[in-house]
Amino acid sequence: MGPIHNHWLQDAQRCESPNHSERPEGVQPWLLVIHNISLPPGEYGGRWIEDLFSNCLDPKAHPYFAEIADLRVSAHALVRRDGGVVQFVPFDKKAWHAGRSSYEGVSDCNDFSIGIELEGCDTEMFTDDQYETLSLLTRNLLLAYPSLTTQHITGHSDIAPGRKTDPGPCFDWNRYRAAIT
């Protein structure tokens, strides 16, 4: 994976999502939020995540999709099981990944965070390729955005407790943190 240029990852697949907006004036991203996603739940591969983030998920393609097809959500990037990256929103924009959230007493985390999705679920281990890519992506983000620091990296479950559980108990925070320091 190449560096970040004009707020886009070089060498990443690009699938631009309409589900983003401007950050509040003067706000730079200073929080990194790690998520997990699989569509349908527990299944990997295919274009379902891209379709969800692009507002073109077919509600008839799977029973679960009827429940979520009208959501208007996104993340900045997705790390697939094979370590490939898809970027949906430029990092200087506000992706709609956190929902109702709060970090260290500051609400609306989308305003000041970057959201990274890992293709996975709460009950399965993430792959070596994902940890390698996530670590490289994180190091690139830390270089490109001095407002981000290793002290302000958290899970979706930590900013939306009781509402969200990801990245889940199978995410190895110690392994990840050791790889980015």
Concerning whether 22 is annotated as a catalytic residue, the answer is no
Give residue for tokens 């970090």: 103
HEC-encoded secondary structure of 147-162: CCCHHHEEEHHHHCCC
Q: Tokens in use for 89?
A: 């929103």
Edge-to-edge order in the sheet of strand 77-79:
13-14, 85-87, 77-79, 113-119, 31-37, 153-155
Name the catalytic one among 117, 119, 124, 132. Answer: 117
Closest CA to 159 of 103, 97, 99: 103
**Burial level of 105, CB count in 10 A (0-12/13-18/19+)?**
exposed
- Residues serving a catalytic function are 117
